[in-house]
A = this chain, B = another copy of it.
Amino acid sequence: MEKRFGQSNIHYRDLDLIPLAVDCIIFGFNNNALELLLVHRNIEPKKGKWSLMGGFIKKEEGLHDAAHRILFQLTGLNNIYMEQVETFGDVDRDPGGRVVSVAYYALILKEEYNEKLVEEYNASWFSLNELPEMIFDHKTMVEKALKRLQQKIKTGPIGFNLLPEKFTLPQLQSLYEVILGETLDKRNFRKKLFELDILEKLDEKDYSSSKKGAFLYRFNKEKYKSTPVFKM
């Protein structure tokens, strides 16, 4: 076989082939907390430990496709916002053998995932502040993903992926607070948002968390696209 790869002179037969996986950091927002969907290992080694949902990349699928497939396997969800975080490739990261893994994070709606699938995988939600022990370098992956999410949420309108189509401003603010890990000033928060002019105020109110009720808003993609600036 004389096939050559890429810009290299290496022949196929000389190649070290290393299993390549994707791990998904699945974020959800609920009860004013940021949560993570983890799967429970019911096989050895590390039986009983928690881990990110992962899987191996197939020959005929791209990285992003693999990430979406694996997310779909666990949640039944499609068309989800996902972003590559980093690739982890320390030789000993998986004691079971050399595996390189590309980490992706996903922002999903906790109300929409398929509960049956999640049960099948022995998966469960954990608040970010109360994460259980996780296998391998998954803890590091989560930390890196969170940092990227923090950056990204300040510069792009991606937080809305964690909220239902209609949401209240207190909800949105709470989302930013738990992701950024700091409390925000209510008036300043709203001022910034209104200046961006990307929200549509609806005539409906949500009464689930107060007697007075909070107005519902909707993210207006068209408005954002016409002037794609976002800074929080």
Contact = CB atoms under 8 A, between A and B. Distances in A.
A7 interface: yes
Interface in A1-39: 3-10, 12, 15-21, 39
A6 B87 contact: no
A228 interface: no
A16 B56 contact: yes
Interface string A64-101: 10100000000000000000101111110010111111
A8 B56 contact: yes
A168 interface: no
Interface residues of A, number: 52
Contact of A5 (B39, B41, B88, B97): B97
Name A's interface SS.
Answer: loop
A9 B51 CA distance: 13
Interface string A208-232: 0000000000000000000000000
Contacts of A4: 43, 96
B55 A8 contact: yes
A66 to B, nearest CB: 8
A143 B39 CA distance: 36
Contacts of A58: 16
A8 B54 contact: yes
Given A87-B84, A87-B102, A89-B63, A57 B18 contact: yes
The 3 closest A-B CB pairs, nearest first, are: A63-B89, A17-B17, A16-B59
Given A5-B96, A6-B94, A63-B88, 14 more contacts: A3-B97, A5-B21, A6-B99, A7-B41, A7-B46, A7-B53, A12-B97, A17-B20, A18-B57, A18-B59, A20-B100, A59-B98, A62-B91, A64-B89
Interface of A: 3-10, 12, 15-21, 39, 41, 43, 46, 51-64, 66, 84, 86-91, 94, 96-102, 135-136
